[in-house]
Amino acid sequence: MTPSRATEIAVLSQGRAAVFEEPIGPAGVRVRERPRTKPGPGSVAIAIKAASINHLDLFLAHGAQRVTPPQVIAADGAGVVEASADSSWRPGDEVVVYPVVCDWECEWCRSGQNVKCPRFGVIGEHSDGTACELLHVDARNVFPKPKALSWEEAAAFPLTFLTAWRMLTTRARLQPGEKVLVVGASAGVAVAAIRIAKHLGARVFATSRSEAKRKRAVEIGAEAAFDSTDFSKAVREATGGGVDVVFEHVGPATLGESMRSVVLGGRVVLCGSTSGVKAEITMPRLFWGQIDLLGSTMGNADEFRAVLSAMEKGLKPVVDSVYPLSDVVGALKRLDAAEQFGKVVLSLS
């Protein structure tokens, strides 16, 4: 153990980095050079090999998050330890970053409930981000890279797989053999949900507006995929009455149909609302249907560990495309146009 740890949350992005400078969309994120320093007490300096972007970075670029520029973007990163002020890590270790910001010291953090930390946040939103050549981060945020994954894959999974894992396991208590519907199947988190649900032995169904993406959803593990318009009827028919769990991140545009897609006592678990912030709920459906409506964000360090262990047993992310750091604008534009299936990755090597 290192004797004195900074209680400050110190995530520092150094070297060449993708910096959010102006809330004007993708073009407001620019590559800049930042000074390099040695890691402070308790911190590890990681030479980032690959980072990946999320919808969060796009919201940030458009000025929709309360983040004051300049700030380096991205929550997901994988790389090689360059220097460590903590004895748990050595130069040359191949690692991935647990994408949560927390103080690690409060009662919640010490009891393993990082998501309840009063300082809880997301790397790249509540601190500097991973889209940089050298990242300083608390040693407790550093985990071994799953050996079976490439650098691009290792950078592609942390935020989405952590989020989807907690939603399906801790929150929705998905059991082998149960049926799960993943709404809006092309988003990074939804692709993670399809892969995880399948890995856990569930029967997976999906929805997407795009025929090409419905086809991809089936290729990566869904039994069937339906058009997004009024999907509940098709889901009930295909599943003989509905699914046990609906995985939601779209919100107002789909929530009504999602609640019509579950069996009596079904669970609808949500981690986002990309179609708006307020939704109308048909109340009798909620209580007559005995429905559990479950909110979830990110996940605890133990849940991250569980994802890593599943990755060693064959669970894999889906990389949509890889862009060099110098073309971070192109990467953000691909997300903005909703063209992707799976994760958009930035390569730093």
Q: How far is CA 113 from the centre of its chain?
A: 18
Closer by beta carbon to Zn ion, 53 or else 109: 109
Dig out the tokens for 30 from the structure.
């620019």
- Residue closer to Zn ion, measured from CB, 33 or 105: 105
Between residues 109 and 298, which has the closer beta carbon with respect to Zn ion?
Answer: 109
Any idea what DSSP says for residue 168?
A: I
- Closest residue to Zn ion: CB criterion: 117
- At its nearest, how many Å lie between Zn ion and the CB of residue 300? 11
Query: Which C-beta is closer to Zn ion: that of 117 or that of 202?
Result: 117
CB of 116 to Zn ion, least distance (A): 8
Q: Which is nearer to Zn ion, 109 or 194 (CB)?
A: 109
**Residue 15 structure tokens:** 């070297």
Instruction: Decide whether 117 or 134 has the Cβ nearer to Zn ion.
Output: 117
Minimum CB separation of residue 186 from Zn ion in Å reads 34
Phi–psi pair at 265, nearest 5 degrees = 80, 15
Measured CA to CA, the distance from residue 116 to residue 230 in angstroms comes to 36
- Spatial distance between the Cα atoms of 318 and 324, rounded to a whole number of angstroms: 18
Pairing between β-strand 262-270 and β-strand 243-248 as defined by DSSP bridges: parallel
Q: What residues pair up with 42 in beta bridges, in sequence order?
A: none
Q: Residue 206 in contact with residue 221, Cβ under 8 Å?
A: no
Tell me the closest approach of the beta carbon of residue 86 to Zn ion, in angstroms.
18
Q: How far is the CB of 117 from Zn ion (least distance, A)?
A: 3
Q: Least distance in Å: CB of 141 to Zn ion?
A: 13
Residues that bind Zn ion (CB under 5 A): 102-103, 106, 109, 117
* CB of 46 closer than 8 Å to CB of 128: no
Q: In what order do the strands lie in the sheet with 179-182?
A: 224-227, 203-208, 179-182, 243-248, 262-270, 292-295
CA nearest neighbour of 164 among 182, 179, 176: 182
Q: Report whether 279 contacts 273 (CB < 8 A).
A: yes
Which of 104, 231 has the CB closer to Zn ion? 104
Largest pairwise CA distance in the chain:
61
Least spacing, CB of residue 38 vs Zn ion, in Å: 26
